[in-house]
Chain A
């Protein structure tokens, strides 16, 4: 778990096509769509479940190191 706390959400804006899947299925409402791209709005609420990374069809959001 300690290792997990080091992970953070990384957004690859150029890859995002704005489908909204990550926003819709984030269990903690961390993400929003802004100007057709995903934006991390409420990072404090993120529980690092990785559901966004799992379902992002465009590899535009993921849990990265440090």
Chain B
């Protein structure tokens, strides 16, 4: 018998899930559900939209209105859903490849519009489902099956991208500090506008193995030791800032929300 939380919000007949041993995706998925539970949202009023990839399998395990869409297009589907029913809390679950590569344009335009969606990116630094190809967030120099001698691309800072594109809530957390994910998802859902939450998750099977990062516990310890809050980061010397993962609220702003602006036009006739 699973926990009350899992029993209430998961399609328990599909558990155990297929994510690899030690994969952090399950931690993030639980954190999202916990945040929804903390906010006392009605299950019928929540819609989970996901794209393609390891992360995006989450929608299949969750017992809300859910839709598992095409690669990179979760935000496009979510935009349509939000327009059709603005009362829904639309939550988008996506991965680094789904959101930053093939879905990169959808991301920047959803942020530009400041449409009231909550986007949670499971960033595991690699394409796990297809066998470990490097993604836009694979750190420079790290290896993937398509970068056997090291990745020469510069990796995206997704939070800075979302912020620059116009998102009104931007934050980052890691699966080690899962309580922070819960808090940030709550904040993201409460924010009337485009919320972008990057969660750094672990992929021991592909990213970990390819880059000799050790097992799941070693990767969790790496997150524990290399995470620094944004406020503390600003006080660090240049030398100590190297390779640190900045977590916490990266940006919070206020701009007109897209669906509301659209409704104003409709009402003006």
Contact = CB atoms under 8 A, between A and B. Distances in A.
B213 to A, nearest CB: 14
A6 B4 CA distance: 15
A63 B2 CA distance: 10
Contact of A18 (B21, B23, B25): B21
A58 interface: yes
Contact of A21 (B6, B25, B30, B216): B216
Contacts of B15: 15, 59
A34 B220 CA distance: 21
A20 to B, nearest CB: 5
User: Which 3 pairs, one residue from A and one from B, show the smallest C-beta to C-beta distance?
Assistant: A57-B26, A19-B22, A17-B21
A55 B175 contact: yes
Q: For this complex, into which size category does the number of interface residues on chain A fall?
A: 20 to 34
B3 A19 contact: no
Contacts of A40: none
Nearest to A16: B16
25 contacts: A10-B1, A12-B1, A18-B21, A19-B21, A19-B216, A19-B217, A20-B22, A20-B216, A24-B220, A25-B220, A54-B27, A54-B30, A54-B178, A55-B175, A55-B178, A55-B220, A56-B26, A57-B23, A58-B16, A58-B19, A58-B26, A59-B2, A59-B3, A59-B16, A62-B3
Given A20-B216, A25-B220, A55-B178, A12 B2 contact: yes
B252 interface: no
